[in-house]
Amino acid sequence: MVTPEINIRRALPEDADLVSHLSTITFEDTFRGTCTDDDLQSFVDYAFTAGGILNELKDEDDLYFIAYCNNIAAGYMRLKEDYKDYPAIKKYKALELKRIYVLKEYQSKKIGAALMAYALQVAEQKNYEVLWLGVWEHNEKAKSFYKKWGFTDTGDTHPFPIGNTPQTDHWMIKFIEKR
């Protein structure tokens, strides 16, 4: 089997359409069936517009990265220092992994692993003490992926409604080793 070539780069304002497309497709593929189609549609129409993502890409502190597999955009992630959703984490210099999504047909090919390794490198280079994230309580695949990377469940949860469908996320955390 030929090992796929995985490359990761910072997303730029001119990538807004691509990131909006990746965000919409991967979110729909992940959460379809866990809420009503109307709820899913209203959520992606609100959260992943090219205009909204363009503003985020223009923000120096809002870090989007795109993962390419053999030169095809196959996944993305978003990192940001943002304590508003989880004030308790403020006791650390903390970086949030806001999103990590790989296109369905490219999953389980170590693209998620490449993005996570990159996220940890960014966190270490910027002297963060922890990397943290929220994961839907029933997303077993993602939870096992995060546990494999050394994240632990804090036991803290928060509501993450999709439209009118209530869902609950768990906060997970990983301490950044000081080299």
Ligand X SMILES: CC(C)(COP(=O)(O)OP(=O)(O)OC[C@H]1O[C@@H](n2cnc3c(N)ncnc32)[C@H](O)[C@@H]1OP(=O)(O)O)[C@@H](O)C(=O)NCCC(=O)NCCS
- Torsion angles phi and psi, residue 35, rounded to 5: -155, 180
- Cβ 177 to ligand X, closest distance in Å? 20
**Nearer Cβ to ligand X (16/112):** 112
| Residue 101 binding ligand X, by CB under 6 A | yes
**Nearest residue to 43 via CA among 177, 176, 165:** 165
| Residue 7 binding ligand X, by CB under 6 A | no
| Contact partners, residue 157, CB within 8 Å, separation at least 6 | 137, 168, 169, 170, 171
Identify the DSSP state of 3. P
| Residue 100 binding ligand X, by CB under 6 A | yes
CA distance 6 to 77: 14
Q: Any idea which residue has 């949030």 for tokens?
A: 96
| Residues contacting ligand X: total by CB under 6 A | 20
Among 9, 10, 138, 148, binds ligand X (CB under 6 A): 148
Binding pattern to ligand X, positions 106-145, x when CB under 6 A?
A: -xxxxxxx---------------------x---xxxx-xx
Name the site residues for ligand X (rule: CB under 6 A). 26, 30, 100-102, 107-113, 135, 139-142, 144-145, 148
